[in-house]
Structure 1
Amino acid sequence: MREEHGHIVLELRGEIDIASAAEISPLLDRLTGREHARVVLDLRPVEFFDCSGLRLVSRARHRVLERGGRLHLVCVHPLTLRVLGVTGLTRVLPPHPTLESALRASGGS
């Protein structure tokens, strides 16, 4: 996790499954519980992403929008993109190929 151009960038790595989601969820809830939070979830280093990851992303999106913030997603892994697309999440949270494009979309650079 780091701050960049007024955004909190959370880079997730490895496998996002039920066990890792349970570890990530409290931190993500803290970040998305702030008023007007600007959060970027960087999934580029993720190698495995299942329904637990979908729940994390969906919950984060809902919490940020409730509080007047913005959430952007960075993802290039074909299988993760497929999971996001099949569920329709990419329609409401389009993934960016780079961190820079996500920050630009949110007015952060």
Structure 2
Amino acid sequence: MRQEPAPLTRHLRVREHRGHTVLELRGEIDVLGAQEVSPHLDAVTGRPRADVVVDLTPVEFFDCAGLRLLYRARRRVLARGGELRLVCADGMVLRILRVTGLAELLTVAPTLEEALRAPGARTAPGLP
């Protein structure tokens, strides 16, 4: 039986899965949660050609601080020639992503397996 790694913080667990770095955000991703996650997210997204999947499945609350995390992760990954995908099936979080336009900039899939099969955001159209 394979043992999953322990969470880095109460809001983040990072693991490798089939050559992809999966960052599983957990609980409430608000200002405090984002501050806790940010240094770890920056470490992963700062790697050249990083293939990153952000899994929002265990998220219970998500606000503008979470949006900033995702937008920053996207910019950093694409600037270094990597790929970024997002796992999200929660209706409220998906609505926030659509209303803000972030859903158009990210590859969003409802499950980890679907995200891994989907092509990730590789180009930086409209990358400010």
TM bucket, shorter chain: over 0.9
Asked if residue 43 in structure 1 is aligned to residue 56 in structure 2, the reply is: yes
Identity of aligned residues (%): 64
Q: 1:85 is matched by which residue type in structure 2? A: R
User: Does the CA contact (< 8 Å) of 2:107 and 2:115 recur in 1?
Assistant: no
After superposition, the CA RMSD in angstroms is 1.1
Which residue number in structure 2 is paired with residue 66 of structure 1?
Answer: 79
Give structure 1 stretches of 5+ with no counterpart. Answer: none
Asked if residue 104 in structure 1 is aligned to residue 117 in structure 2, the reply is: yes
Pairing 1:1-109 to 2, within 5 Å after superposition: 1-106=14-119
Runs of 4+ in 1 over 6 A off after TM superposition: none
Q: 2:118 is matched by which residue type in structure 1? A: A
Structure with the higher helix share, 1 or 2: 1
Q: 2:61 is matched by which residue type in structure 1? A: F
Structure 1 residue 106, shift from structure 2 partner = 4.0
Q: Distance in 1 between matches of 2:61 and 2:97?
A: 12
Structure 1 residue 92, shift from structure 2 partner = 1.1
Paired residues in the alignment total 107
Structure of greater relative contact order (alpha carbons < 8 Å, 6+ residues apart):
1
Structure 1 residue 56, shift from structure 2 partner = 0.1
| Bigger radius of gyration | 2
Q: Distance in 1 between matches of 2:107 and 2:28?
A: 21
1:35-68 Cα deviation digits (max 9, x unpaired): 0000000001111100000000000000000000
User: Does the CA contact (< 8 Å) of 2:74 and 2:84 recur in 1?
Assistant: yes
Structure 1 residue 103, shift from structure 2 partner = 0.7
1:49-93 Cα deviation digits (max 9, x unpaired): 000000000000000000000000000111111111100000111
